Structure 1
Amino acid sequence: MKKYIHIIFILFGFLLSNAQKLKTNKTKNQPNVLVFYVDDLRAELGCYGSKTAITPNIDKLASEGVMFNKAYVQQAICAPSRMSTLTGLRPETLGIYSIFTPLRKVHKDVVTMPQLFKENGYKTISLGKVYHHSFDDKESWTTQFEKDGNSYLKPENITLLEKLKKEGNKNLNGPAFEDADVEDEAYKDGRVAKNAIETLHKVKDDKFLMFVGLSKPHLPFSAPKKYWDLHNKNDFEVPSRGKPKDMYKLALTNWGELRGYYGIPAEGDLDDDLTKTLIQGYHACVSYIDAQVGKVMQTLEALDLRKSTMVIFMSDHGYKIGEYGAWNKHSNVEIDVRVPLIISRETKYESRLAGVTSDALVENVDIFSTLVDVCNLKGPKSDGKSLIPVLDNPKIKWDEIATSVYPRGNKIMGCTSTDGEWRYTEWRDAKTHEVIQAELYEHKNSLLSFVNLSGNLKYALVEKRMKSLLETQFPKNGKPFLQNDQPRKK
């Protein structure tokens, strides 16, 4: 009898051990996911070679994973770009190109990233600005912190805003920058980091998908004074205000987003002093969000979650800080559609891949499929594809092109593509796909290019090849570009 009892105990121990191994393997095969999603951040970071950025925490993250040197968004504007990332569908698939239309106003049945992860047992957490519209897709989040305001803390700026409001200036913002001498949590991104840290403590024993949405360096360039003090305004150079020769007349915007701020002239270029102040403010905001990334990453380490968590650092689009005499995003130029992207994960290749840079052409629309693959889920149909092969071998030959779009009104669509060295853009009739004008720019050694080479016989073969590549994504006999945008509320 004792013999049988002993055998039963051995069998029970074996089953328990295997159950624990299965649980461990399941956890290992379904890691946590932490995404730092930053607003208006171009690749102005130390790890990307910037001589003016001070970003030690993001640089450290890059040293622990794969940094993508040629990552691109699908449209250089907040709402459509973020929807594309969170659905794995391009703006031309969703038919939403403006900031005024929430995803669920149009697409009730699209399966989003947080929705899929929540259905598969993950805690899904949204902190700060994730979607452009605060509570879009709210049922898909287990926990959601509303993005809050208070861009101004200085008494004189608060008084100014009250004065403008009394005068009936409803559409005018306050100053374009502020440097209050306050702690990090006084501004919203500091509170986002604080909420992220507190939430990590609560979900440390669960599987989680957490988005940490950092609003800076979006206008206004408001950050604690200590981050402004890291940068000397006189160390910055004023970019060339020259426009590319023979550029399409609607290729650049009038940067109205910046002109809506108090103290910014309604027309004409900015003077050099104001330009340098704004560039300093942009850099201060980048250093500020870098500090928030560092705090969250330290908590991840302290809770022993680092090895079981895939970390992604990304931006919703690039940005101009005076280049071409322009500001903000809202275009198809290289500096607006190229973004920083860093992915760090536990892998059998971990030591070999730490701090590796990949020149593979990748897109933000690929993130959804990548996470589905990493976490062993069954995902919906996607316009992107998993980047696991690139993460396993960053030098692998990958896509031939990355594409983006930007409309000009309802009748003209700008379709653009890059092969990593050349950018080719066609401005088309949105219904017929008739080409109104083409642009070809060389970007072998610079994010900027000042001559439209389309039609130049010397580059005829390059243009022919780039045109052919563009048409693989945007056929010349394709369907009209669907507009699902809702009218702007007046």
Structure 2
Amino acid sequence: MKLKVILAALCAAVSLQAADRPNILLIVSEDNGQEIACYGDKNVKTPHIDSLAKDGMLFENGYVTQSVCSPSRGTIFTGLYPHQNGQIGLATHKYAMFKKWPTTYSVMQKAGYHTGLLGKTHVNPADAVEDFVDFRAIKNSNFAKKNLAAYAEKSAEFFKAAGEKPFFLTVNYPDAHHPLQNQVQGRPAKPLTPDQVGTIPYIGKANERMHEIVTAYYNCMMRLDDCIGELLVELEKSGKMENTIVIYIGDHGAQLPRGKIFATEAGMKVPYIVKWPKKVKAGVRSENLVSTIDLMPTFCDLAGVETPKDLPGKSLVPMITGQTKEWRKYLVCERNCDAINLYFPQRALRDERYKIIWSPLVAEGEKDRGAVDYITQSKWKKCSYTEEEMKALPDNLKKVYQTWLTPPEYQIYDLKNDEWEFHNLAGKPEVKDVEVRLKKALQAWMKETDDWAATPAKLKQLTDEHQSVRDATKGKFPKDGWKYLEYLHPEK
């Protein structure tokens, strides 16, 4: 009899614990940085995203691990840096993970969560994620931004299908990915015009054509905000808002000059907002250095399950709930392959004030192929300056863009006084000690995370493979897959 009572008590405790576990809603937008009103951008109104920040915690310093889609999402799914999991470039260009790692979906489904995914997966192999999704909808990228109401409608179906189980849902929106449309199917209702829009600081003063591009970008942000508002309405109508933690991030910066694919602040720094009713104090702005490597540990913590071994990130839960003020001293981002013609590995590390960018191929006389493509290829004209337009820029901007096009091996920036990296301080006497310290910290991180970029032989092997494939395929990708999966980390 006593045994039955004990078992009943244990079952009740487990049920109570399961009931207390929060639902998790992860909202991911495409190709946008912090160009949002609650981040101080006066060019645009984003009331729905602003409401998340007003009711939750906004991180001033939120980062992705690599500023292109597949590597960024690979980290969100696995909690590993791209150089660790293998997804170092776009899935559409046949880059892939070294193996089927544990993902947010496999872990959360095993933990008893009802799992859902709206929008693209965009990693290889896709089934490492897809096999653990209970509710799948809108599988395409939808860059045309058609039928955007479906995201909220399908989310409402998911909320209902979850029943009494806790849920884990990721909603991936297509804005502000190219093409940058001023209006699609009446969204936004009143598009901005160029005379209503100022500059984006990291681009600098724009010419007329670039200013029209920037205007279209802000209209994408208004359309994104509209869609997020519809999603939040459906969450509220489901009756599950109070026990749901909502996290909103961008997958990387905008596809604009010095943005997407680069190891710049404009490429790596994204909106990162957390709302958790009665758990996270409302209206808090944090300067802590947070990354998408922290999402997997956070989700495991929220679900009350063991975090996969050797993840480099940290659970946000103790920090966002005020249990600790301790956080990381350094944050690191990387750049690898992206697509074959954009191959230009870099590593970037920052502390609370200073940042270092290392470009290891510069010693071989290598220009940044990504920047070269941005300004010379016709397909990029809708997002960047051309060579001729760069020549017409003011002298101070010419120097900035020349550094972008032909970076030195090391760059050092004082982000407190130069947020968008206009003035490279590397080699300057006044930052000598800072430069030495950051180089040591970067080297320590590469050793700790087993980064192949720190091994000259492996870096050369990857560089040679890219050159060989580029020559053989005229800038496409290998039909039989990349060989780096066999030699960068053969132990995996």
TM-score (norm 1): 0.75
| Cα 1:474–1:378 shift into 2, 3 Å | same
Query: How much does 1:95 deviate?
Result: 2.7
| Cα 1:292–1:457 shift into 2, 3 Å | same
- Residue equivalent to 2:91: 100
Query: How much does 1:17 deviate?
Result: 9.1
2: distance between equivalents of 1:209 and 1:458? Answer: 49
**1:392 and 2:383 matched:** no
- Residue equivalent to 2:242: 307
Assess if the C-alpha contact under 8 Å between 1:33 and 1:210 holds in 2.
Answer: yes
- Residue equivalent to 1:41: 32
- Residue equivalent to 2:188: 227
**1:418 and 2:350 matched:** yes
Assess if the C-alpha contact under 8 Å between 2:355 and 2:414 holds in 1.
Answer: yes
Assess if the C-alpha contact under 8 Å between 2:32 and 2:253 holds in 1.
Answer: yes
Question: What SS does the aligned partner of 2:320 have?
Answer: helix
Assess if the C-alpha contact under 8 Å between 1:358 and 1:395 holds in 2.
Answer: no
- Residue equivalent to 2:331: 402
2: distance between equivalents of 1:95 and 1:404? Answer: 15
| Cα 1:21–1:106 shift into 2, 3 Å | closer
- Residue equivalent to 1:297: 232
Assess if the C-alpha contact under 8 Å between 1:76 and 1:332 holds in 2.
Answer: yes
2: distance between equivalents of 1:149 and 1:471? Answer: 37
The structure whose Rg is larger is 1
| Matched pairs, number | 413
Assess if the C-alpha contact under 8 Å between 1:216 and 1:285 holds in 2.
Answer: yes
**1:142 and 2:114 matched:** no
Partner AA of 1:405 in structure 2: E
| Cα 1:229–1:462 shift into 2, 3 Å | same
- Residue equivalent to 2:395: none
Assess if the C-alpha contact under 8 Å between 1:128 and 1:189 holds in 2.
Answer: no
- Residue equivalent to 2:412: 440
Q: Which has the higher helix share?
A: 2
2: distance between equivalents of 1:103 and 1:345? Answer: 38
- For 1:202-228, what per-residue CA distance to the aligned partner results, in whole angstroms no more than 9, with x for missing partners? 224322110000010111123434526
- Residue equivalent to 1:255: none
**1:72 and 2:57 matched:** no
- Residue equivalent to 2:269: 338
Query: How much does 1:366 deviate?
Result: 0.8
- For 1:325-370, what per-residue CA distance to the aligned partner results, in whole angstroms no more than 9, with x for missing partners? x2651111111111111112245x54xx111111111111110001
Partner AA of 2:37 in structure 1: G
1: distance between equivalents of 2:358 and 2:314? Answer: 25
Q: Which has the higher strand share?
A: 1
2: distance between equivalents of 1:395 and 1:25? Answer: 23
2: distance between equivalents of 1:418 and 1:436? Answer: 18
- Residue equivalent to 1:254: none
Larger RCO (CA under 8 A, 6+ residues apart): 1
Query: How much does 1:416 deviate?
Result: 0.6
Moved more, 57-66 or 231-240: 231-240
- Give runs of aligned pairs for residues 118-137 of structure 1, distance below 5 A: 118-131=109-122, 135-136=126-127, 137=129
Question: What SS does the aligned partner of 1:417 have?
Answer: strand
**1:236 and 2:197 matched:** yes
- Residue equivalent to 2:76: 85
Question: What SS does the aligned partner of 1:210 have?
Answer: strand
Moved more, 464-473 or 336-345: 464-473
Moved more, 295-304 or 14-23: 14-23
Mark the runs of 5 or more structure 1 residues left unpaired by the alignment: 1-7, 153-185, 244-269
Question: What SS does the aligned partner of 1:140 have?
Answer: coil
Query: How much does 1:454 deviate?
Result: 0.4
- For 1:160-196, what per-residue CA distance to the aligned partner results, in whole angstroms no more than 9, with x for missing partners? xxxxxxxxxxxxxxxxxxxxxxxxxx72433222211
**Percent of aligned positions with the same letter in both sequences?**
24
**1:380 and 2:352 matched:** no
Match among 185, 190, 207 for residue 166 of structure 2: 207
| Cα 1:271–1:15 shift into 2, 3 Å | closer
Query: How much does 1:146 deviate?
Result: 3.7
Assess if the C-alpha contact under 8 Å between 1:73 and 1:339 holds in 2.
Answer: yes
Assess if the C-alpha contact under 8 Å between 2:96 and 2:123 holds in 1.
Answer: no
1: distance between equivalents of 2:36 and 2:125? Answer: 27
Query: How much does 1:413 deviate?
Result: 2.4
2: distance between equivalents of 1:458 and 1:301? Answer: 53
Question: What SS does the aligned partner of 1:361 have?
Answer: strand
- Residue equivalent to 2:445: 473
- Residue equivalent to 2:43: 52
Query: How much does 1:473 deviate?
Result: 0.9
Question: What SS does the aligned partner of 1:473 have?
Answer: helix
Assess if the C-alpha contact under 8 Å between 2:95 and 2:124 holds in 1.
Answer: no
Partner AA of 1:189 in structure 2: L
Assess if the C-alpha contact under 8 Å between 2:152 and 2:234 holds in 1.
Answer: no
Assess if the C-alpha contact under 8 Å between 2:97 and 2:124 holds in 1.
Answer: no
Query: How much does 1:240 deviate?
Result: 7.3
Assess if the C-alpha contact under 8 Å between 1:65 and 1:354 holds in 2.
Answer: yes
Query: How much does 1:386 deviate?
Result: 1.0
2: distance between equivalents of 1:194 and 1:446? Answer: 43
**1:454 and 2:430 matched:** no
Assess if the C-alpha contact under 8 Å between 2:331 and 2:350 holds in 1.
Answer: yes
Query: How much does 1:312 deviate?
Result: 0.7
Question: What SS does the aligned partner of 2:359 have?
Answer: strand
Assess if the C-alpha contact under 8 Å between 1:149 and 1:188 holds in 2.
Answer: no
TM-score (norm 2): 0.74
Query: How much does 1:271 deviate?
Result: 7.5
- Give runs of aligned pairs for residues 5-20 of structure 1, distance below 5 A: none
- Residue equivalent to 1:164: none
Query: How much does 1:375 deviate?
Result: 1.2
Query: How much does 1:447 deviate?
Result: 3.2
Assess if the C-alpha contact under 8 Å between 1:88 and 1:365 holds in 2.
Answer: yes
- Residue equivalent to 1:173: none
| Cα 1:240–1:310 shift into 2, 3 Å | closer
Moved more, 382-391 or 233-242: 233-242
Question: What SS does the aligned partner of 1:227 have?
Answer: coil
| Cα 1:276–1:147 shift into 2, 3 Å | farther
- For 1:43-98, what per-residue CA distance to the aligned partner results, in whole angstroms no more than 9, with x for missing partners? 11111111112111111111121111111111111000100111001011123321
Query: How much does 1:289 deviate?
Result: 1.4
2: distance between equivalents of 1:390 and 1:421? Answer: 20
